[in-house]
Structure 1
Amino acid sequence: MATSSAADIVQAVGGAGNIESLTHCATRLRFQLRDASGVDPATVEAIPGVMGAVPQAGERFQVVIGGGVQNVYNDIMALPEMKDGGGAAAADDDIDAIKARERAKGVRGKVAWIDSLFEFLSDSFRPILGALLGASFFITFMALMATLDVIPDWNAPGVTLDPSWAFINLMWQSVFVFLPLMVAYNATKKVGADPWVGFAIMAVLMLPGFTSLAQGVEPTALFGIEAAQVAIVPIFGIPMPIANYSSQVFPPLLMAAALGPLYKLLRKIIAANLQLIFVPFFAMLIMMPLTAFVIGPIGVYVGAVLAQALAAINSFSPFIFAIVIPLAYPFMVPLGLHWPINAIMLLNIQTLGYDFIQGPMGAWNFACFGATAGVLVLSMRHRDTQMRQTATGALAAGLLGGISEPSLYGIHLRFKRIYPRMLVGCFVGGLTIGIGSLLMGLENGVTTQAFVFTSLLTIPAFQPTGLYAIAIGLAFFTSMFLVIWSNFRTPEQQAEFEAARDAAEAAAAAEHVAPAAVEAAEPRTIDASDAAPAVAAVPVATALLERASIEVLSPLAGTVVPLSEVPDPVFAGGVMGPGAAIEPTGDTVFSPGAGVIAAAQPTGHAFGIVLDGGVELLIHVGIDTVNLKGEGFDVKVKNGDRVELGTPLVTFDRAVIEKAGYPLITPVIVLNADDFGEVTPVLEGQVAVGASLITVHPRAEMK
């Protein structure tokens, strides 16, 4: 199917924005739509390459393609509009599915308000990560210049830089000084209020005129917390605590949390035709004083308390702290629990002048990147092109940008053997920082004077640089060598991968041989959407030369019924092709003849076989059993396998399938019936394994 047809399918089901998820089975695309009411099956069926369209309950919609469904699925997922706006495959390797699965292990996904809280935090920070990353490189550059004695200690109190270097220093300050405004915008947008109103409310607290109100007033510790310094100034006789809100993140978060409900209330009580003017006005009228008098100081206090608590733990034992942080982060990041820690890092830098969390965190990041490097080495060794590309991109994002998510969601959470090896790397890196801190007498462990992303480029920003570099290096190589030594796949997964790879390579090699053989025998034209064109080419030519009827034998023992009785309109209507259906009495599907396995679904629910006579068969075990995702199925063959009559293909657990409520009726379909004459099923009734089931006659002109 051409890319244009793939785009037509997406458009026909309502566009990428209407697609919540997309999967496929042996013959059809399975869409989970946001709204299926407007999808016209006739429009979908008119698209070239589409064999049928089946609306289903629950906003689900199936598009029948046939043997080339994998190619069509790939074409759809490669469309630009599907990159961000459409749903991805709802399989284990889908990033959104992985995130949801991991979060479901904790309170997220189970306790609604906790889930909403962390979504609020992540969406408040995620859009500005690019700006933070860019600023961190400026900070690293300044740290490197100071290390090389090109400039004085740029972040020390009382240091005056040359105007040229002072300008470079302002480049990172532009992000961190005005960070509260960025957070206020994102957080307000998340709660459904006007983000510019939230921006304006927070901006009041950052105006030079606001801070000048405290001129000449001695700051005091708010509620006895030294990190929360405020100047108390009377405003209309009411004491207003005035603090330095630069780089603060808790005040804008609390402000937005209060602004959201207020905005909804104002929209309810103000007439619709007046909301444009008066909702923002009253929101600002209420929230600006409330934020200045109450919310802002509370935010400063909350942040200071959390920062002080972590500082106390680190002061008590930098050794333990350095080990706990890298071991905790691999579990915090999938749950989204690292976002509040980022806020505390920023607050530490503002109040203490340094941060002690990012150093141990670097051990986790580089252990993560090392595991990815191990996967990259193995993927090259195993000729795994797809994983090599994934690992290369993830490793580049990690080592150069300090971003762990591509490695974490793209690789590590998909293969459970990686995590234990990576945790060893985390422990080794943290232990190195802990022991080094004890030997060097470091009261706060490895620190940094700026918020940076832990990458290769930001190593100079950490002090002592040598200890930090050794720790992250050990974390990286420990994880990498452990993954290389033990593999990231289980032995079963590795065997399955190698079989699929070898079959694909054999099929690719056959493409150079099959066309010549087919051309000499004057066979049918092999369409690109066929299930296994390269493998099937020579057998088809043989069948056409023989010009004889072909008997398709029964793969199951049971009762033969017409296809029209199959509870699925695609099979019942003959959309896939003619054939018969069997109500099985046993639990094993056998090969109905000698041939080649063109498609063995890992879920065990469907098999494509090209018989030596040239007949292409689909055996579909049960209806909608793909939803079991392999549960209850023991697959005996793989793509490219040579099978003989009676070779077991799959054993299934009837109890599992019946308990799930799926019919066990098994259609046996001739997919390429157009290449032959009449296709005649046997009479209804009992049938044994190996008994005649379908007769495929040659075309009249071939006799």
Structure 2
Amino acid sequence: MTTPATGHDALAEQILRGVGGPENIESLTHCATRLRFQLHDGKKVDQAALDRLDGVMGTVPQSGDRFQIVIGGAVASVHSKIINLPSMKAGGTPAPQSNADVKAAARAKGRGRYAWLDNFFEYLSDSFRPLLGVLLGASLIIAIASMLDAFGLVDFRAANKSATWVFVDAMWRSVLYFLPIMVAYNAAKKLKIDPWIGATVMAAVMTPNFTGMIGSKTPGVETHINHTLGTTESVAHVFGLPMQLNDYGGQVFVPLLMVALLALVYKGLKRIFPENVQMVFVPFFSMLIMIPLTAFLIGPLGVWAGNGLGSGLSWLNTNAPIVFAIVIPMLYPFLVPLGLHWPLNALMLVNINTLGYDFIQGPMGTWNFACFGATAGVLLLSIRHREKDMRQTATGALAAGLLGGISEPSLYGIHLRFKRIYPRMLVGCLAGGVIIGLLGGVNTNAFAFTSVLTIPVFTPMIKYIIAISAAFIISMVLVVVSDYRTPEERAEANAERDAAEAAARGDVVARSETVADDRELVAVGAAAPAAAAGASTDSAVVSAAGGASAGAAAGKATELKAPVAGRVIGLGEVEDPVFASRALGEGVGIEPADGHVVAPVAGELITVADTGHAFGIRTEDGIEVLIHVGIDTVQMQGEGFDVRVEAGQTVAAGDLLAEVDLGAVRAAEHPTVTLMTVLNTADVTSVEPHAGQDVAVGAPVVTVRR
């Protein structure tokens, strides 16, 4: 007997099914928060099913059959579980291509539409992404040392340090100094060539033998002082040719350029040499060609390119600091989701390596804290509205952000799912950028992930604290005040929560899983509210207290009147499974005799769907009523619906809400039944529908007891 899978095992199996099974996976990698699939056929992905999985924060389809699944901090464990599933032994292999496929791929490359751009940025991103962990580790070591320096316990910036602090420096400098070798390894792996050759070529120009020639009196080495720039330049004459000497520690553009050319050389050599001797001659000739090319040409070119870009940004930062300080935080919210922020991160490293400090990370920090502030706002709202899943998501995302400086859990888990967040977050980014610009900029002499722990590495620290605090607080307040959900989404979410809590208490009205699948009802704002006044007849009774009869039900009675004339039926007879399951509360359906739709009760119109097919009313005593005209009529996009009211308006029972062309509804092949439910059924004593009768507009059809 097989033991059912639990935890990450179950999630791994569900994800595997969601992406089309192991046979649909060409390759699978992961970064700090995301599983990254290269699929044979992206159309086989069940994105909706993946989005509903517990443990999945979001999904990101990309061009070229690439697909990302955002997991968060547990991504490494989930990746390991998927890789080790027995069924994966048959997966992860390239799909066989027909002649037509090969020709189509060649034509696509020739056209160069979108794939080449995606591939370019994927190359940049995948060269850095695997280093995220060690970069974060180095960043936190710097942060701890900087905090000790800020409290006067050690002079972190002293010229002559003790052996202890020289050793501590080595712990984080190892990552930044040898970064070119690591980037070369990853870049070569990305381009599917031997990654150790890429690392070896880069390491050759970083050996003590090579760097030791800089400024030395080695025969054949000339050193000149550039009095204009205040720099020292060394040139070595190798085989009679001049070679500019550079310290390539911390450089990132050099390995990226070098590996791009190495890939051409390596693959060309593999075509030249027979397979049985490739292991010897391909690495040999690759090194023999690429090491001199890197030392003589690519290295100096990469340094010049990096320095040129850094100098250009430095000029902008010096001459128009407020423009620079605003542009950076306003760009990052759009660059990070696409993975396009790595080139700017590379420039930060170039600045630290060449200038000794960086001026990009300060303004960038305001974007990060605006992002975390928006997440904090979502967390507060999720606590207020008792949203357990969102509270857990926001808590984890906020911890990853404030402590680690990682924004992806916030972005993919929350912000990109709710369109209202981004405009509010951008206001925080703008405010933080303006403050940094007006105060004259913020610098740092270390590469750091912008978190609470790394605040001490920025100078002047007080300016940085003011800017990030403003960005955080403004974004948080704007999200809390205006909500991250639309009124319709909020009403729907609250209705789902109430029904879920009722089901958990064992009440008669239970949540149907159909609600999670019914996108149309979410758009409708099925959470729209209402209640009313009226009379009562014999009928079924739903009691939130445990199914008491009408005679036993206590409390004030409110009558909901018929919003349309026609035949009253029970929800169980309705064709829509969501309404039939009482997932949106107890109520009735009415087969309308005409398209004259009125308010069934006095109250405030909380929701008026743009398409005119749904209205939500809340009564003075808090009864929430949904009037939904037809089934799936949202697809008509308002055609045939003449709405006479607007959200926020107060109506009396019998006031006209809309005129509906029932002929148009039937022509569109949608049922015309008009539904009326009490959304907060779980919060009242009982809801008594009076079905099985023909009624005129305004006749009592539902009794609600508080």
| Aligned equivalents of 1:434, 1:33: Cα separation in 2 | 42
| Aligned equivalents of 1:369, 1:245: Cα separation in 2 | 35
Aligned with 2:304 (options 296, 301, 306): 301
> 2:143 is matched with which residue?
140
Deviation at 1:141, TM superposition (A): 2.0
Please say if 1:594 is aligned against 2:594.
no
> 2:340 is matched with which residue?
337
Please say if 1:609 is aligned against 2:609.
no
Distance 1:358 1:262, change over 3 A: same
> Could you tell me which amino acid in structure 2 is paired with residue 510 of structure 1?
G
Deviation at 1:363, TM superposition (A): 1.1
Deviation at 1:497, TM superposition (A): 1.5
> Could you tell me which amino acid in structure 1 is paired with residue 192 of structure 2?
G
| Aligned equivalents of 2:209, 2:192: Cα separation in 1 | 30
> 1:456 is matched with which residue?
452
Please say if 1:213 is aligned against 2:213.
yes
Distance 1:2 1:642, change over 3 A: farther
Aligned with 1:353 (options 352, 356, 371): 356
Distance 1:632 1:362, change over 3 A: closer
Q: Does the 8 Å contact 1:450/1:461 carry over to 2?
A: yes
Distance 1:10 1:343, change over 3 A: closer
> 1:476 is matched with which residue?
472
Within a 5 Å distance, the mapping from 1:352-431 to structure 2 comes to 352-431=355-434
> 1:505 is matched with which residue?
501
Aligned residues: 509
> 1:172 is matched with which residue?
172
Within a 5 Å distance, the mapping from 1:668-679 to structure 2 comes to none
Deviation at 1:633, TM superposition (A): 9.2
Distance 1:185 1:380, change over 3 A: same
Distance 1:14 1:368, change over 3 A: closer
Aligned with 2:259 (options 250, 256, 263): 256
Distance 1:492 1:469, change over 3 A: same
SS of the equivalent of 1:160 reads: coil
| Aligned equivalents of 2:344, 2:60: Cα separation in 1 | 32
Q: Does the 8 Å contact 2:377/2:475 carry over to 1?
A: yes
Deviation at 1:505, TM superposition (A): 2.3
> Could you tell me which amino acid in structure 2 is paired with residue 278 of structure 1?
F
Aligned with 2:272 (options 269, 282, 288): 269
Distance 1:140 1:59, change over 3 A: closer
Distance 1:358 1:75, change over 3 A: closer
Within a 5 Å distance, the mapping from 1:653-692 to structure 2 comes to 653=635
> 1:155 is matched with which residue?
157
Please say if 1:485 is aligned against 2:481.
yes
5+ residue gaps, structure 2: 27-36, 72-111, 517-539, 544-565, 584-608, 617-623, 640-667, 672-692, 694-706
Distance 1:200 1:494, change over 3 A: same
> Could you tell me which amino acid in structure 2 is paired with residue 595 of structure 1?
L
Within a 5 Å distance, the mapping from 1:75-114 to structure 2 comes to 77=53, 96=68, 111-114=114-117
Distance 1:352 1:655, change over 3 A: closer
> Could you tell me which amino acid in structure 1 is paired with residue 486 of structure 2?
T
> Could you tell me which amino acid in structure 1 is paired with residue 571 of structure 2?
G
Within a 5 Å distance, the mapping from 1:233-244 to structure 2 comes to 233-244=236-247
Distance 1:193 1:387, change over 3 A: same
> Could you tell me which amino acid in structure 2 is paired with residue 155 of structure 1?
R
| Aligned equivalents of 1:282, 1:253: Cα separation in 2 | 20
| Aligned equivalents of 2:611, 2:478: Cα separation in 1 | 33
Q: What TM-score do you get using the length of structure 1 for normalisation? A: 0.63
Q: Does the 8 Å contact 1:251/1:300 carry over to 2?
A: yes
> 1:648 is matched with which residue?
630
Distance 1:503 1:652, change over 3 A: same
Q: What TM-score do you get using the length of structure 2 for normalisation? A: 0.62
| Aligned equivalents of 1:177, 1:33: Cα separation in 2 | 32
Within a 5 Å distance, the mapping from 1:568-587 to structure 2 comes to none
> 1:552 is matched with which residue?
none
Deviation at 1:649, TM superposition (A): 2.8
| Aligned equivalents of 1:14, 1:471: Cα separation in 2 | 42
Q: Does the 8 Å contact 1:598/1:610 carry over to 2?
A: no
Deviation at 1:372, TM superposition (A): 0.7
> Could you tell me which amino acid in structure 2 is paired with residue 500 of structure 1?
E
| Aligned equivalents of 2:567, 2:136: Cα separation in 1 | 57
| Aligned equivalents of 1:237, 1:33: Cα separation in 2 | 48
> Could you tell me which amino acid in structure 2 is paired with residue 121 of structure 1?
L
Q: Does the 8 Å contact 1:349/1:451 carry over to 2?
A: yes
Q: Does the 8 Å contact 1:594/1:611 carry over to 2?
A: no
Deviation at 1:335, TM superposition (A): 3.3
| Aligned equivalents of 1:466, 1:531: Cα separation in 2 | 49
SS of the equivalent of 2:580 reads: strand
Q: Does the 8 Å contact 1:531/1:599 carry over to 2?
A: no
Distance 1:194 1:89, change over 3 A: closer
| Aligned equivalents of 2:610, 2:248: Cα separation in 1 | 59
Deviation at 1:129, TM superposition (A): 1.2
Aligned with 1:125 (options 118, 123, 128): 128
> Could you tell me which amino acid in structure 1 is paired with residue 299 of structure 2?
G
> Could you tell me which amino acid in structure 1 is paired with residue 505 of structure 2?
A
Deviation at 1:163, TM superposition (A): 1.0
| Aligned equivalents of 1:188, 1:128: Cα separation in 2 | 14
Q: Does the 8 Å contact 1:595/1:642 carry over to 2?
A: no
What's the CA shift string for 1:385-441, capped at 9, x where partnerless? 11111111111111001111211222112212111211111122122222222xxxx
| Aligned equivalents of 1:592, 1:283: Cα separation in 2 | 82
Q: Does the 8 Å contact 2:244/2:300 carry over to 1?
A: yes
What's the CA shift string for 1:457-485, capped at 9, x where partnerless? 01111111111111111111111111111
Q: Does the 8 Å contact 1:228/1:304 carry over to 2?
A: no
Deviation at 1:328, TM superposition (A): 2.1
What's the CA shift string for 1:268-299, capped at 9, x where partnerless? 22222222222222211111111111111111
Deviation at 1:11, TM superposition (A): 7.6
Deviation at 1:150, TM superposition (A): 2.3
What's the CA shift string for 1:304-342, capped at 9, x where partnerless? 000000111111132332222222222222333321111
Distance 1:352 1:374, change over 3 A: same
Deviation at 1:2, TM superposition (A): 9.5
> 2:198 is matched with which residue?
198
Deviation at 1:650, TM superposition (A): 2.6
> Could you tell me which amino acid in structure 2 is paired with residue 422 of structure 1?
M
| Aligned equivalents of 1:478, 1:13: Cα separation in 2 | 39
SS of the equivalent of 1:304 reads: helix
Within a 5 Å distance, the mapping from 1:12-51 to structure 2 comes to 16-18=21-23, 34=39
Deviation at 1:246, TM superposition (A): 0.6
Distance 1:135 1:89, change over 3 A: closer
| Aligned equivalents of 1:507, 1:494: Cα separation in 2 | 20
Please say if 1:320 is aligned against 2:323.
yes
